[in-house]
């Protein structure tokens, strides 16, 4: 299999993209923390289970308040986009690991199975003790499946990629149709969707009660995993193939242009059109399909920007890159901080910021958390080359390989 040779220089755009993806997921999740703790409705849940005729354009048109407009803009920008970007970055990371093993003369996947398995375990721990919407478990399981595929021929990779994408898109469109039918049937019967379906309520006044709730509702809490797995199979492979083809290579402006056209020229208008005028009817499609297309365009835009800058970071880029270099640590830490800030066993600010005028205070808290993560990652990287969780994971992988070498 042909592989694009990597230069000795680190592609700084990769670190920046990873950092943007991490902080971007918090821009989505911050509303989960604030809504679930206060027992309020979420815009995403309203789109999924609310009135089948619910549209963002009509909602803002009937209530053009500052909060409504900001929430609509945030929904257009954040929902699904950074989840898609993070998924792509994991696929690229997988390809980087494969190329590194190849340069060292090691067979692939070999010891990578330990790394992917530990990521899945870390995700399980994160789900139980930190955040019920964790994505690491799904990424770890997906990496276990994709790693051996990347060792196969280009033809085999394409087959797996297209099969996974076809199944994923078909399943998501079918789910949207079922949810629309369900909502329509309830609406025709004069019933509204149950309140608990449109809320993200979990017991937040007692930490251990919340942990017990996650364990006892494990299956319901992990329903997103199959979606993430099938989506990840296709996106991991696309991300790996784009990186191998030279998306960050200065000489591949043509590739970046094509990805930009597909991602932002085609994907963005489609995504925003569906979100504005078919918000409820296409809620799953926009989150798990069109947003991923847009995410590829965002990645190509980042790659093009840093190619033009000669692979050099400015002050803002450096801050995002530091978060990207400690991505796993920052992902876990941001969820811990948000839990302590919003949940009742911590500061309980979800109740303080709930109701009218909620948006700006929550955005302020989000900005403070981001600045804190940027500062913490910068200070940490002055002394260490990896984040704290990354260091622990790296050492565990080394110990596991020493005890029982993985089959190559």
pLDDT of residue 93: 96
Among candidate residues 165, 147, 135, 179, the one with its CA nearest the CA of residue 230: 165
Q: How far apart are CA 81 and CA 86, in angstroms?
A: 9
pLDDT of residue 194: 52
The pTM of the full predicted model, rounded to 2 decimals, is 0.92
Percent of the chain with pLDDT over 90: 73
Vertex 338: Cα angle to 34 and 83 (nearest 5): 85
Residues 95-126 have pLDDT tens digits of 999 999 999 998 999 889 999 999 999 999 99
pLDDT of residue 41: 56
SS3 199: strand
Q: How far apart are CA 332 and CA 193, in angstroms?
A: 33
Quick check: 197 pLDDT over 60? no
Task: Name residue, tokens 């242009």.
Answer: 257
Residues 282-307 have pLDDT tens digits of 999 999 999 999 999 999 999 999 99
SS3 375: helix
Mean pLDDT for the chain overall: 89
DSSP state of 193: P
Residue 220 token pair: 């319901």
Among candidate residues 142, 135, 95, 134, the one with its CA nearest the CA of residue 116: 142
């Amino acid at each position: 299999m042909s592989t694009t040779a990597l230069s000795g220089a680190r592609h700084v755009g990769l670190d920046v993209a990873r950092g943007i993806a991490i902080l971007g997921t918090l821009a989505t999740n911050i509303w989960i923390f604030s809504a679930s703790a206060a027992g309020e409705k979420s815009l995403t849940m309203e789109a999924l289970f609310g009135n089948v005729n619910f549209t963002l354009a009509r909602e803002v048109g009937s209530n053009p308040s500052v909060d409504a407009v900001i929430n609509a803009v945030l929904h257009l920008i954040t929902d699904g986009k950074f989840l898609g970007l993070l998924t792509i970055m994991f696929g690229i990371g997988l390809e980087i690991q494969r190329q590194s093993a190849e340069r060292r003369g090691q067979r692939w996947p070999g010891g990578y199975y330990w790394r992917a398995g530990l990521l899945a375990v870390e995700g399980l721990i994160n789900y139980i003790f930190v955040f019920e919407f964790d994505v690491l478990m799904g990424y770890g399981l997906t990496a276990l499946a994709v790693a051996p595929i990347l060792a196969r021929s280009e033809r085999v990779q394409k087959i797996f990629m297209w099969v996974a994408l076809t199944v994923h898109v078909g399943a998501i469109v079918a789910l949207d149709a079922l949810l629309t039918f369900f909502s329509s049937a309830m609406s025709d019967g004069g019933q509204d969707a149950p309140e608990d379906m449109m809320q993200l309520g979990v017991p937040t006044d007692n930490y251990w009660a919340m942990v017990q709730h996650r364990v006892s509702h494990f299956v319901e809490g992990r329903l997103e995993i199959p979606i993430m797995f099938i989506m990840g199979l296709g996106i991991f492979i696309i991300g790996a193939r784009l990186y191998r083809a030279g998306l960050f290579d200065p000489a591949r402006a043509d590739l970046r242009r094509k990805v930009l056209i597909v991602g932002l020229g085609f994907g963005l208008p489609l995504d925003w059109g569906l979100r504005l005028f078919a918000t409820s009817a296409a809620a799953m499609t926009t989150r798990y399909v069109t947003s991923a297309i847009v995410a590829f365009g965002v990645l190509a835009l980042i790659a093009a920007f840093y190619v033009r800058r000669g692979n050099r970071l400015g002050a803002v880029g450096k801050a995002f890159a530091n978060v990207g270099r400690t991505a796993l640590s920052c992902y876990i830490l941001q969820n811990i901080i948000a839990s302590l800030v919003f949940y009742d066993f911590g500061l309980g600010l979800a109740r303080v910021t709930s109701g009218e005028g909620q948006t700006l205070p929550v955005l302020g808290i989000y900005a403070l958390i981001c600045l804190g993560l940027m500062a913490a990652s910068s200070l940490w990287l002055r002394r260490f080359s990896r984040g704290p969780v990354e260091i622990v994971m790296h050492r565990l992988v080394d110990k596991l390989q020493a005890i029982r070498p993985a089959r190559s």
